[in-house]
Amino acid sequence: MSNDSSLKEVATDRGFRIGATLNAQSLRNDPSYWKTVRNEFNAITPENALKMGPLRPARNTYDFTDADAIVDFGRANDMYVRGHTLVWHNQLPNWFQAWEYTDEQLETFLRDHIHTVAGRYRATVDAWDVVNEAVADDGTLRETVWADAMGEKYLDRAFRWASEVTDATLYYNDYGADAVNEKSDSIYTLLSNLLERDVPIDGIGLQCHFLGDRPAPESIAENIRRFQELGLDVQITEMDVAFTAGDAPDDRCQEQAAYYRAIAEACLETGCDTLVQWGVNDANSWLRQFKDFPERYTDDPLLFDDNCDPKPAYHALTDTLIDG
């Protein structure tokens, strides 16, 4: 492998998955986006298309158009496909708010949703984020519509329902739990309890949205190891690196590159074999889409710039995968 090889080539060569999250519109309309994904990544995650809101225009209907387009693109290019996400408290359908359900109706609705969605993609999605962000920032079970109706057992049921219709590997996914800290301690306990109850969970996704905060890579490695020791696979599922606005270093692209390198090294050292960044290039990062975010954080957190040209972080990652 030489320095002329693409990120995808060097990753594939050492059995590593390097991924990006995709939106169907850019895939259809933007050739440089499409080419970048095809040439540089061997793993993909639909960014929004598999969330309940976009998928469920009405209570009894589904719209798989965008999700199918992204999953089909992944399969056609021989990529690893992560499904995101079956159960979450955000991005619920608009009609949901006005629905006056009983606990039993909600449970049936969620079971049918999981059976339909995970079942549809049983041959095409390799891994699912079954439950996203069930733990609150203070480490307690987050109060959500799902927890309200079923208590903590909603996690058990969600994983069981998914395992009834797919052989994909099944993950719990969360943010702010990348290093050893109070939140990851709580998640560690939650997942240990799920395993004790024989819930079919295979792994944990560490989102790794580094917004202003860059935890010590050693602590991230230690965190990865303790979940692996539970028998869980660990993947980095939503990485990006931004700085607090007004407090960014002058050489922020270099510093960003150094942090991407450190995280890739932590992956190689621990045997974590999957790193997905949240977006493809800076122009479509979620940090540009939320109104107040550009004021809070720098908005160029990814490996490719607005024109899909590779940034220092891209070269740092490629070099690490060649030499590390």
Closest by alpha carbon to 293, among 237, 215, 236, 209? 209
Contact code string over 186-215 relative to ligand GLA, x by CB under 6 A: ---------------------x-x------
The residues, ordered by sequence, that sit 6+ positions from 84 with a Cβ below 8 Å of its Cβ are 21, 45, 46, 47, 50, 51, 128, 129, 132, 173, 237
With binding defined as CB under 6 A, does residue 293 bind ligand GLA? no
**16, 109, 154, 175: residue in contact with ligand GLA (rule CB under 6 A):** 175
The residues in 19-78 that bind ligand GLA, with binding defined as CB under 6 A, are none
With binding defined as CB under 6 A, does residue 286 bind ligand GLA? yes
Give, in order, the Cα–Cα distances in Å from 112 to each of 212, 268, 279, 291. Answer: 39, 39, 30, 35
The residue number with the shortest CB distance to ligand GLA is: 286
Write down the least CB distance from residue 284 to ligand GLA, Å.
Answer: 11
Catalytic residues: 133, 238
With binding defined as CB under 6 A, does residue 238 bind ligand GLA? yes
The H or E element containing residue 239 is strand 233-242
3-class DSSP assignment, residue 233: strand
Cβ-based nearer residue to ligand GLA, 27 or 321: 27
Report d(CA 35, CA 272) in Å as an integer. Answer: 27
Write down the least CB distance from residue 174 to ligand GLA, Å.
Answer: 8
The single residue listed with the structure tokens 């301690």 is: 185
Write down the least CB distance from residue 177 to ligand GLA, Å.
Answer: 11
Cβ-based nearer residue to ligand GLA, 278 or 314: 278
Cβ-based nearer residue to ligand GLA, 132 or 318: 132
Residues in the chain: 324
The residues in 112-141 that bind ligand GLA, with binding defined as CB under 6 A, are 132
Write down the least CB distance from residue 251 to ligand GLA, Å.
Answer: 26
The residues, ordered by sequence, that sit 6+ positions from 37 with a Cβ below 8 Å of its Cβ are 20, 22, 27, 44, 73, 280
HEC readout, 40-97: HCCEEEECCCCCHHHHCCCCCCCCCHHHHHHHHHHHHCCCEEEEEEEECCCCCCHHHH
The residues in 83-112 that bind ligand GLA, with binding defined as CB under 6 A, are 84
Cβ-based nearer residue to ligand GLA, 242 or 313: 242
Q: How far does the chain reach from its first CA to its final CA, in angstroms?
A: 13
Write down the least CB distance from residue 21 to ligand GLA, Å.
Answer: 8
Cβ-based nearer residue to ligand GLA, 132 or 256: 132
- Which residues of the chain form contacts with ligand GLA (CB under 6 A)? 84, 132, 175, 207, 209, 238, 286
